[in-house]
Amino acid sequence: MATKRRWWGLAVLTLPVLLVSMDVSVLFLAMPKLTEDLGPSPTQALWILDSYSFVIAGLLITMGALGDRLGRRRLLIGGATVFGLGSLVAAFASTPLMLIAARALMGFGGATLLPSSLAIISTMFASTAERGRAIGVWTAAFSGGAAVGPIVGGLLLHQFWWGSVFLINVPVVVALWFAAPLLPRDEQSAVDTPFDLLGVGLSVGGILGVVYAVKHVALEGVDPTSVVVGILGLALLGAFARHCARSDHPLVDLRLLRNPRFAVAITTTLAAMMSLAATTYLVNQYLQSVTDRDPLSAALLGVPMAATVCAFSLGSAGIVARIGVRRAFIGALLVCAAGMALLQWTGVHDGLWAFLVGSAVAGVGYGTAFSLVSVVAVGSVPPERAGEATGISETSFELGQALGLALLGSLAGVVFTRRFADVSPGFRGTLQEAVDAAGSNGGLVETAKHAYMGGIHVALGAAAVVLVAMAVLTAVVLPRESG
């Protein structure tokens, strides 16, 4: 492809990335109005939020491998169409079950978009330097979409009904159809081996089981359901690993994980995404429930972090050129940890500066780390296997998000309830429940908010420890680079 055409094609590839990332965050703001209109039960409300991410997490590896066989552009356009249809159904859903089904359909389409778009970049940009810059743009679009989602959602919900947050996906899908000729045509697949249907079943069942169990523990605590489903999920993943090791034509070539750079990229994704997901969730609770800001104001305060993520995603190629992949990985993780440390200075009535500076500093590390992960995932395999590698990489993003919300989110909740129980014996609930129970007792409300901040500080401190440990592991595992 001509140079200018390649970069126009990259602009096209940012459209599906924006779709997927915006849709993750935009629904949080719509839930109150949606709940008032459709009246879902607590369980249905959970599935409205989670059915999308469950389906994406379960199908990313499968769709990445499928794109290597059927053609990335073909799968991208087909998946975008399914995503658009699901968005239309979701926008005009009249029952909770109809909305859950529509969200699952959107997840099915969304699972094709991330691995297909990232794998197409490996075809469009053969040069390592150009590919690094292109992946930086892709990562900036992903993080920018997640940041812009709440702002766009807040503006739409101010003027229109809750379904408008889904309807905005449709014109983006239409634009992608018309711009598709700018992408490289699908060539004859170099992968002509049988498709591993058994591997698909084992991977989907295992991933969904583990993600469901982790989310269930975060919401309900440990109970027989979470234990049984979690054990079953782990057993299926173990069977999947054995199958891939023994099969002549596995869905995933486990030899990829023997590559130290690829293995570090996957574990870095898990650690960084755990801390980012927990941070995003907890600081939004801090801004809205502790400092009593409205959703749009809270979203606007997240702009500094989004800006640094975008800027350093775009600049990661230059960072690698100067200091190398190993030092860039280590530095990105340590900078993320420094941001988590700065967030320890946030308080109920002060410390907004710590939030703004700490989140912006963390954004520097996240933007660099996530671009590096994508560069390594694409660059570790031949072009015809890029979809498979990116499927593994993107799945680790989803698993990291689920683990962060479950483990670190639960840690914050446990610390909060224990500290608040000192003044309200037997209390087990959320901050909002504590505030409601306090009624007009201003002192008790203050105590509840300070206890909640204590939980946030402990969780973010734990996230910093995990990031530092991952930086040490990276220093040990990755070989030093010459020069």
The class (CATH top level) of 1-193 is: mainly alpha
341 Cβ contact list (under 8 Å, min separation 6): 358, 461, 464
Cβ proximity of 164 and 152 under 8 Å: no
Would you say 293 and 29 are in contact if contact means Cβ atoms under 8 Å apart?
A: no
Residue 394, pLDDT score: 67
What are the distances in angstroms from CA 373 to CA 119, 133, 380, 382, 396?
Answer: 13, 13, 11, 16, 10
State residue 462's pLDDT score: 92
- The one-letter amino acid code at 240 reads F
What pLDDT was estimated at residue 3? 64
CATH assignment of 256-483, among 1.10.3720.10, 1.20.1250.20, 1.20.120.80, 1.10.8.50 = 1.20.1250.20
Q: Where are the domains of the chain?
A: 1-193, 197-250, 256-483
**How far apart are the C-alpha atoms of 401 and 270, rounded to whole Å?**
8
Q: Are 110 and 56 in contact (CB under 8 A)?
A: yes
Contacts of 95 (CB under 8 A, 6+ apart): 38
Predicted local confidence at residue 465, as pLDDT: 93
Give the pLDDT confidence score for residue 220 in this predicted structure: 65
Whole-number Å distance between alpha carbons of 159 and 141: 26
pLDDT of residue 193: 64
Give pLDDT, residue 251: 67
Query: Along the 483 residues of the chain, how does pLDDT read in single tens digits?
Result: 446 777 777 777 787 777 777 776 667 667 667 777 888 876 677 677 777 877 877 777 777 777 767 777 888 888 888 988 999 999 898 888 999 999 989 888 888 887 777 777 777 776 666 776 777 777 777 766 766 666 777 777 777 888 888 888 888 888 888 877 777 776 655 556 666 678 778 877 887 787 778 767 666 667 788 888 889 988 988 888 888 778 777 766 677 777 777 777 778 878 888 888 778 778 877 887 788 877 677 777 878 887 888 778 777 777 777 887 788 888 989 999 999 999 999 888 888 899 899 989 998 888 888 777 766 766 666 665 665 666 676 667 767 776 776 678 778 877 888 887 777 766 666 676 777 776 777 778 888 888 888 888 999 999 999 999 989 988 887 777 655
Dump strand ranges (E) for 264-422: none
The predicted structure's pLDDT at residue 402: 66
The answer to whether domain 1-193 and domain 256-483 are alike in fold is: yes
